[in-house]
Every structure is written in C-alpha cells, then in structure tokens.
Structure 1
Amino acid sequence: GSSGSSGRSAEALFEKAVTPSDVGKLNRLVIPKHHAEKHFPLPSSNVSVKGVLLNFEDVNGKVWRFRYSYWNSSQSYVLTKGWSRFVKEKNLRAGDVVSFSRSNGQDQQLYIGWKSRSGSDLDASGPSSG
C-alpha cells in the first residue's frame, strides 16, 4: 500500500447516532468514553475542566470549532460550545448519525460528517405533527 496519492485520505474514527438530548436544549454532544479517550485524549486533568477547542472540517470545507471537555458530574466527554450551531445548520434530529474522521497527513485535520437516519439527505417525513 503506497500512500503517494494526492487525494486527501482520512481515517474514519467513529460514528454516533445522536440522542434526543444531543440535539435538544442541552446544546451538547456526548462522546462515548472509549472513543473519546482513544481519539480525542485530553492533555491533562486540569485542562479537562475548561476543555479544549477542536476544529472539524465538514464536507463543504466549512470549519466548525467545538469546545471539548470532560464533565466530572456525569463522567462524560462532551462537545459543547459551537455544537448547537452545527445541529441547527445541519438540521440534525435524534437518530441521525454524526461521523468523525482524521486526515492521515501531517496536519492531522479533523473532519465531521453527518447523515440522516433515513439514509438520504432529504427530509421526506412531510409536515411535522406537534
């Protein structure tokens, strides 16, 4: 396997189906602990309180900046600041899948993707009741 291709290759890290609370009023995405510790390790315990900023590029080349931190209270890793904007713009709903990947190049650029639960990018559910 030669890695001399000019195309940007990225390694898929993990996917997560968002829950109602991920796209709800809490404005945060919970990242499964084993994925968080493996792919987005926090530098040290004192940083985890304030969190770090992670930049993710989407398929359109737009860069999203999320605050990533560890909540001791719920023992969970979360993306907070910036997440609600992503949810709004992509019109994410519970059951939709968010995917994370990382470039194999020197820059280690992070990428974020999404797909609706139905598998299509179109919302074919018609007018929502309620």
Structure 2
Amino acid sequence: MGIDLNAADEPGKAAAVSVCRDLWHACAGPVVALPRRGSAVVYLPQAHLAAAGGGGDVPVALPPHVACRVVDVELCADPATDEVYARLAMVAEGEIFEKNMGGGRFEGEDDMEDGDGERKSRMLHMFCKTLTASDTSTHGGFSVPRRAAEDCFPPLDYQQIRPSQELVAKDLHGAKWRFRHIYRGQPRRHLLTTGWSSFVNKKKLVSGDAVLFLRGDDGELRLGVRRAIQLKNEALLKAFNSNSSKIHTLSAVANSLKHRSVFHICYNPRFVN
C-alpha cells in the first residue's frame, strides 16, 4: 500500500483528538481503509511534499520509496472543523523494499482493515442525510426519514398524542448534544427540534453538508458531520505545511532508516474520496 500523505506531525502542534472508530469511518466515507498495526506500507517522500502543498526536491537525502512497518494508527478529528484524519506511527524498514519489491508486490499490501465487515458484524445502525435549507434554518428543525428514525433512535410511544423523547448523542470529540425528537405534523414526520439549531450554529453547518447518526449494539447514539467543502483550519495548515514541519518529518524518516526509530505522519481521507 502506498500512503499519500498530506500532513506531517510536529511536536507541540496540532494536538490529536482520539475519536470513536465507527464514527470516524462513517465520516471518512465508505472507500477509506487504513493499514493495520504491524502491516507494511510504502512511504513516498516526494508525494508527501506535493500533497502538503510543497514542491521541488526533497530537502533530506531519502530514497524515492521507503518501506515501513506501521506501529500504531490513531483516529483523530480536528477540534475546530470536525475533519477526520489519522495519525500513523511508523518505522522505516529499508531491507523489506529490497527483498519484496522485485516481484512487483510488496509484502503486506493486503494488510488493510476490513472496516465494513467488522462494522456489519457489530450490527451498526446508521443513516446519513444531506442537509437542506430547511434543516439549517434557525426557525426550523431537522427532518428525519421515518425508516431512519425507527432504525437509529430509541422507539417512541405512538400511543401518545404527540410522541416525543429526548435524544443524547456524542459527537466526534465525545461532547454530548441533546435534542428533542418529536413525531408530529400533517402528514406526520420525525423531527429534531430543541437543541438542533444550537448544533447547526456551533458546527457552522450549511445546506449541502451531511449529518450522520450511528447507534451500535451498546445503544449509544453517535453524531458526526461530513462537510460538502473541506474547511481550512489555519493553525493546522501552518503546523502541517510549514517548511520546518516538512523538514522535521523527512529528517525523522531518515533517522528511522538509520536507527529504526518511530516517526509520525498524518493521513487525510479527503484526498482519496
């Protein structure tokens, strides 16, 4: 597997926030797969610079392909924008490249997580809806398709005149959001009312963005967003795309080749979706 990297980790900057695995994958999208711990990957220094907005030659003497072993995979989310990314810890293993690339196949290239299979086995219930102008209006609520509401949310008591309940959902950062879920109108429909406008305003959601609700076997409700347009976080961009950050990471890779030390990179799934 060749990793296309858009950001480098630099000590003291852009602190990672660990998130729920299933919610991370839901927000990242269905085509995203990450390498397993212990699997083999190929790091491409020149592609890293290009993806990070750089150009020119790699400022540190490195081969065009660096065979690596994945030590750890941390799922993260930007606290300012909710954009998901992964922080990979890796160790360079130059000898693997020499031994296994000759036949055109890199050892461990199939060592990718089978996220879809794992999530299905846990009986996840999820729905994703692209927000309309009405969903983001300050005077309206969030209209939920009936089948989605009955699959993801706790059951309502339809014997009531106006069936309703309070929902509590955790976002990517573990923060709890409370919504009033009500079944009303002519024709009747499921709506999230009280608490919804606050969520929209806090997350700066607009029409075209998507909201995901996810519930696992434990019954805990999770809530994520998938933005139509990737928001820029200036602090992250400065930390990840600065020349000092690039040189720091490439130097760490060179040091890993010599001493088998661990280095870190950040992987943005929006570049593969």
Partners of 1:45 and 1:9 in 2: CA distance: 37
- Identical-pair percentage: 31
Structure 2 residue 128 is the aligned partner of structure 1 residue 18: no
1:122 to 228, 232, 242: 232
CA contact (8 A) 1:102 1:110 kept: yes
More helix, by proportion = 2
| Structure 2: stretches of 5+ with no match in the other structure | 1-19, 23-123, 234-273
Structure 2 residue 196 is the aligned partner of structure 1 residue 86: no
Partners of 1:27 and 1:35 in 2: CA distance: 19
Offset of 1:16 from its aligned partner?
0.4
Pairing of 1:1-130 with structure 2 (within 5 A): 10=22, 11-40=124-153, 41-46=155-160, 49=162, 51-105=164-218, 108-118=219-229, 120-122=230-232
Offset of 1:37 from its aligned partner?
2.4
Length, aligned pairs only: 113
When normalised by structure 2's length, the TM-score is 0.38
More strand, by proportion = 1
When normalised by structure 1's length, the TM-score is 0.76
Offset of 1:44 from its aligned partner?
2.7
Which residue type is aligned with residue 96 of structure 1? D
CA contact (8 A) 2:162 2:182 kept: yes
Residues 104 and 121 of structure 1: CA distance in aligned 2, closer, same or farther (over 3 Å): farther
Return the index of the structure with the highest Cα Rg: 2
Partners of 1:58 and 1:42 in 2: CA distance: 23
DSSP 3-state at the match of 2:206: coil
| Structure 1: stretches of 5+ with no match in the other structure | 1-7, 124-130
CA contact (8 A) 2:136 2:200 kept: yes
Partners of 1:110 and 1:82 in 2: CA distance: 15
